[in-house]
Amino acid sequence: SNIKHSNSTSVTEDSSHPATQSTSNHTRFRGKGTLAWSPGMSALKGLFKKPDPRAQLRTSQREVTHNVRDIEREVLALRREEAKTLKDIKAAARSGNMAGAKILAQQLVRLRGHMAKMQTQAANLRGVNISMATAATTGTVGASLASAGKAMAAVGAAADLPGAQKAAQQFARESFAMDMAADVMDSALETDDLEEETDDVVNQVLDEIGVDLSAAMAPAGKARVASDAKATTSTPGQEEDDILARLTALK
């Protein structure tokens, strides 16, 4: 007698009927075949719900912060490598290995240039994160992003955040390709600036340890000629003895 017959047929709730069992994950029929609301239908509707711009901004901020921290960790590692390379330069100079000291100085110059680029990239990412944070706190995402300037104008309206993220990813790929091309060009073209910076590093290290660069790098033949030229006014071999005395004191 679970189903009652009248002028219109209706299906009532009954715990013994499979179609009307009370379950949180299933729908129930009420009245004249009316479909009642259920959590399962709510989840299905969520699949077609438009993404929240603020939630997307928070996700982007987390990604930017994560990238900045990765860059900062890499910079710290480069600083440790910088200190180690500088120590090796001093050791090579103390032992009289000026050719090795100059090679290490070139590596140090390139290392510092790479570290400066990474610090610039981290600063740019922090600027993007600040702009996004400003947009999230104003409540008017589109207007806030427009006020951020040309750098944030590509983000567009808040409803077009997926497209803006795609453009940002494309920009990142192109920027990475340009950086790679620049590194190849820098490696292929040895400029006078690199040579000058290398000499500056070597001179600075030698100043710290008290060695004269010109004296340390003077060939033995030139030293003997200089000694012979000064034979009438100074003790023979005095300049060579002075250089050897300095190097011996550093060991």
Contact 144, 134 (CB under 8 A): yes
Mind listing the pLDDT tens digit for each residue in 84-140?
999 999 898 888 888 888 899 888 999 999 899 999 988 888 888 887 777 666 665
Q: What is the pLDDT of residue 1?
A: 43
* pLDDT for the residue 219: 47
Question: Can you give the pLDDT at residue 197?
Answer: 80
234 three-state secondary structure: coil
pLDDT of residue 194: 72
Predicted local confidence at residue 203, as pLDDT: 80
Q: What is the pLDDT of residue 130?
A: 82
Q: How far apart are CA 208 and CA 190, in angstroms?
A: 27
DSSP 49: S
pLDDT at position 10 is: 44
Please give the single-letter amino acid code of residue 182.
A
| CA 44/CA 112 separation, integer angstroms | 54
pLDDT, position 134: 74
d(CA 152, CA 23): 49
Identify the DSSP state of 7.
Answer: S
pLDDT tens string 140-152:
555 555 555 555 5
R_g (Cα) of the chain, nearest Å: 37
Domain boundaries, the chain: 1-49, 53-195
The structure tokens listed for 223 are 């030293």
Following CA atoms 147, 149, 153, 158 in sequence, which dihedral angle do they give, to the nearest 10 degrees? -30
Give the type of residue at 130: I
pLDDT score of 226: 46
pLDDT-flagged residues of the chain (< 70)? 1-51, 53, 135-164, 184-192, 209-251
166: its two tokens:
């795609």
pLDDT at 74: 92
